[in-house]
Structure formats: C-alpha cells, structure tokens
Amino acid sequence: MSLNPQQRAAVEHCDGPLLVLAGAGSGKTRVIVEKIAHLIRSGRYPARRIAAITFTNKAAKEMRERVARRLKGMDIEGLTICTFHALGLRMLQVEHAKAGLRRGFSVFDADDALAQFKDLMRGAKPDAVQAMQSLVSGLKNAGLSPEQAAAAARSAREHEAARLYARYQERLAAFNAVDFDDLIRLPVQLLEDDGEARLAWRERIGYLLVDECQDTNDAQYRLLKAIAGPRGNFTCVGDDDQSIYAWRGANPENLSQLGRDYPALTVIKLEQNYRCPNRVLRAANTLISNNPHEHPKTLWSAQPDGERIRVWECRDAAHEAERVAAEIQFLHTLRQTPWSDFCVLFRGNHQSRPLEKALQMLRIPYHLSGGTAFLDRGEVKDALAWLRLVANPDDDNAFLRAVQSPSRGIGAGTLAKLAELAQQAQLPLSRAAESVGLLKQLQPRAANALGAFTDIVRGLRQDAAHLPPAELVRKLNEKSGLVAALREQCRSEELFRIRRGNLDELADWFDGAKASGPGDLAAQLALLSHADKGEPGNQVRLMSLHAAKGLEFRYVFIVGMNEGILPHEASLDEGRLEEERRLLYVGITRAKEQLWLSYALEAQRWGAKVSLAPSRFLDELPAAELQRDGADPAADAERRQQRAAAGFASIRALLDG
C-alpha cells in the first residue's frame, strides 16, 4: 500500500521540527518506519545517529522488526529504537560518573522502591506509604531534584514529601542504584547542567523521532528538548484526542508547548483512518468535537459505512454480561469468527466479574488483561535478586531477597542484627556478611549459614567474569538452590515443570545478549515493562479502556455506559470530564467492523438496589448512527430469526457429534 499525501509529506519533511497529529488507525507506525528508512536511504543521517522513542517495549520491538524488514540488506548498525527509560539507562551507563553513580549500578523496580519507602516510613499504613511514594514519583516526573522539590513545597504534605524524597535518594546513592523515574530525571539534569555532555549527545543523536508524544510527562519532554536542541531536527507523533494517561503523569499540554518552544514547527494531520467503518468514525468525531482543540481533525475512511452501532439497555450488570456473552457466541457460530476477534472493554477492572461468569457459563474462552506478568513471578524475581547481587554488592535490597530465597535458616532477627553491624561499619549488607569479624558477633549457626551463602555469591562473581550471560543465569539457578527449593515446594511434577520453565526462560532471555557483565544485563532486564505480557491466543479479550490503546478488534463491546462509571465519578469530581471523553473515543476507535455500547438500569450497592442513569456520552453520539433497543423492530426481528437459526444449528451439531 502506497503512502497517502499527508503520510508522504510527514516522511519527506527532514529539516526542522515536525508534529504529526495522527488520528486513531491512521498508520502512524508506518510513517515512523518509512521516515527512518527515508533518512537512511537518502544519506541524510547514518543509522547510528537516529533514535526513535516509544512508550512500551512491545512497540519498540514491533518497530525494530518493521524497520529491519523495510531496510533488508542495508547497514542499520547502531540504530536506536527503544523506550524513554531504555534511552535514559543508556545515557547513564555512558555518563555514570557525571551522574554520581559507579559502574554496574542497579535499577530498582517498583517493588524495590516500595520496600525502601516502607522502611523510611516504618509504622505507617500501606495506603499512606503508597501515597507518599506516588507524590515523590510525581516530583521526579516533573524533573525536580530533592532541593528543588523542597524549594517549591507549599503545604505541610509537600514539605514532608520533599524531606522523604531527599532521604530516599540518599538510600539509593548508598546502594549505587537508581529507580525508574531517575532514568529520565538524571539524564535531564545532566544535559541541562553540563554543556559538554549536551553537545556530545546532540552529536550522537542527530535526528529524534518520538511516538505517542501526548503521553510524555514533563521530564520526558525536557529530555526531548535537551537532545533536540534549538535546531529541533525531530518528528513528534501524537494524538491529543488519545491523551488518557494524565493520572500517571502524562501532560497532554506538551503538544501545544512544542509550538511555543519551536515557532517554526510544521504540523501535519493524518486524518484518513484504515481501521474503522465510517459509521464508527462519524460517531467518534461527533463525540470528541465536544472537547476543545488547538488542531481539530476529522477522521474519515474509504471503507463503507458498516452496521449501525448497537445500544443496549440492560436490567443490571449480570443481564448486560449475559447479552454480551450470548452475542459473542452467536457471531462466533454464525460467521465462524475466531474468539480473538472479540473484545469487551470496561472502565474499571471490577466490571469484569459478571462478564467472566457469563462467558464461563457458555464455555467461551477468555483472557483477562492484567494477570501476573513474567517478571512478577516469585521464582523469577528471586533469580533476578541473585543476579543483581552478583552484579552489585552494594544492592542491599537484592541481598535481603537473595539470602532468603531459598530459605537457609537465616531469620529476621539475624538480618536485623547484621544490618545494625553493617551500619556501624559503614558497609553494605553483602560486605558485612563476608566480614569474619562481624560474623563472630552473630549466633554460630546463623554465621555459618551466612558464610555458606556468601561463598556461593563469591563463586558466581568469579563465574560472571568468564561465562556467557545465559550460562551464568543457568548456573546461578542451580548453585543458589532455587531449583532444588522449587522441587520441594511444588506438590506436583507438572507445577515444578512450569516453575522451573520460568527460570529456564529467564536464562533464554540472555542468549546472544551483548553486555559487559551481569550488571548491565540486570539493568536491561529491569527496564522490561511489567505490562508487556505474552500473547493471549484464541480467546475473547477482556480489558480496561486504558489497556486497549493501540489495539484493534473486529467486534468491540463497551459495557457500563453509565453516569458515575463512564464518565467515572472520581474524574467528574476532579474536573477531568474531557479525559473521560477521550477514553471513550479510544474505545470506540478500536472497532474494525462492529461496535456495541451497553448500560444497566440498576445495580446492587450496600445490599440495596439503586437506579443508574445512562452515560451523558450516549447523548453526544449522532442518533443516526445508533440502533437502540426497540427502535427498529424489523431489524430486531431479523436478528432474532438469525439467532434462532444459529441456535438450532448448534443443537443439531451437538446431536450429530
């Protein structure tokens, strides 16, 4: 398929700043891939001076594969396609000394960071700890240092957050570690304060492409500006209508800010949609026109209108779920449609429960997005803790997890005493555990167990110097005792095989990895998004509207179209109606063929029935594109007839079988 005129203009614009406003389904990834190919083929930039930034590892992987296919046979060595955090990590690995880090620093994941906050706020309730961690994360995402946060603080709560932020950073420094937020904040700080480093990185990255620019937070935007410099040789691709992540720090105003920071900014709109029928697009356009726009756009398609959008009025959530499940089964039977072509979207994950029950009753296979990610599995986190400790003896968090995984008779009392001795000697825990003098101050049994543990770690560090990374991980799984412990824990051979398989898969991830040691590898692994999950296969997809962004399905059901649910009550209280409208817009534009919207008339709350009102957004959709229950008796009668025939066919198939 050739590029349309707007796509071509975006690809060929190579001098000066460019904003591509890419509507849903308008082929934005293709534009980025073609632009990278154009920059290299035209000789404007070698691959090593081009960087394309995405928001997920999955998107980066897909883009790398597409570029490799597009430029098959050409030299693309050194081309950077990665996430913001991966780019930040790369910069810190090069500039670690300037950032106040030692080589082989650790990257704390969310659990590691939370453990530090719990320790710093000992005795506080979990909600209070998480709230304070979120506040500190917000300060970092705003690009503020602890000193700047203290200067900007106004309320008592903000002063408390700034103080905690400073203590938390002291902890990280002691561990020679950074957290995810630091992977952006520290490079920003470096590039803004150090002219030499700034020039070096502008030379290294001659052309910058940023995907999903509307999802950048303040720190990410500053990183973009610092790299691009005043010339602004960049292409930012985004859609202000799909900005739905303000709750996690995204600032949709960054798209407007681009125009103010770069007055020569060229804006190109991609309005031709290659995904949805026109009827769906007209509904989406009408809905989103209720939001203010600096650069309004109107999506259109060369496809036919398609079927009208079905709007269902249901008694309650159970009735709604039953109708959705019955419709999915009917279409699956009638059209021989794979289960994976169906998706059910909702505002909050709690809405999945009646849907799961209804699908189970009809024996329809489904996948609920949000299961335990690979890197969150206990045995995998244990192995990673060992790997981080081998890489970085200063990583106390890794030590505490590794020394107890598997259990080796070292209790909380022993570890508390060791921590006290380590603090007095100003040593990290792993070094304290290696000190014969300090071990003599512990109970003999505990000292012996710690000695045996440190012997294993020391042996693995020696192995790390000469073993390939994947082999090191395999050896670590055995020598640490993790495999043996799994065998003891698992009641069945099948369960042991699955969990042992997770450890083997972790080792496989390192096959062919190019890194200078386990420290770099552990840092790379820490970047893997816990949201990047395996493919769910041939199953109906159940997911939140937030999780659906970037995906598409033939048949899409959006349930819970009620006031207080969509738009969400909390969002209304916080004045975020426009973002809720954008969220529905994202849901509507996932549909490649047909769309259903449904709402309930009542719900059970605190043991009593309460009446529910349909969502105000239903009234913002064009009536001509909707087919409400009972509004078209002829169409309803035809559908009932089709359903009866399909049901009869199913019964006959069962009897024949």
Active site residues: 28-29, 211-212, 242, 590
Cα separation of 11 and 32, whole Å?
A: 7
Q: What share of the chain is helix, strand, coil (3-state, %, to 5)?
A: 55, 15, 30
Strands 591-600 and 309-314: parallel
65: tokens are 């594969």
CA-CA distance, 137 to 147, in Å (whole number)? 15
Sequence-separated (6 or more) residues with CB below 8 Å from residue 277: 301, 303, 304, 305, 306, 307, 591, 593
Residue 171 tokens read as: 């902890």
Local structure of 143: helix, strand or coil: coil
207-210 and 234-238: which strand pairing?
A: parallel
C-alpha to C-alpha distances, 469 to 480, 493, 506, nearest whole angstrom: 16, 28, 11
Q: How many CB atoms are closer than 10 A to CB 607?
A: 5
Pick the closest to residue 620 from 279, 240, 291 (CA basis). Answer: 291
Q: Report angle CA 208, 210, 211 to the nearest 5 degrees.
A: 150
CB-based contact 345:543 (threshold 8 Å): yes
Interstrand relation of 177-179 and 106-108 (parallel, antiparallel or unpaired): parallel
Cα(615)–Cα(570) distance, rounded to whole angstroms?
Answer: 15
Tokens at 250, concatenated = 């995204």
Residue 650's Cβ-side half-sphere holds a number of Cα atoms within 13 Å equal to: 16
User: Is omega for the bond preceding 406 within 30 degrees of 0, making it cis?
Assistant: yes
Q: What is the DSSP letter of 530?
A: T
Residues 169-191 as b or e (16 or more Cβ within 10 Å = b) = bebbeebbbbbbbbbbbbbbbbb
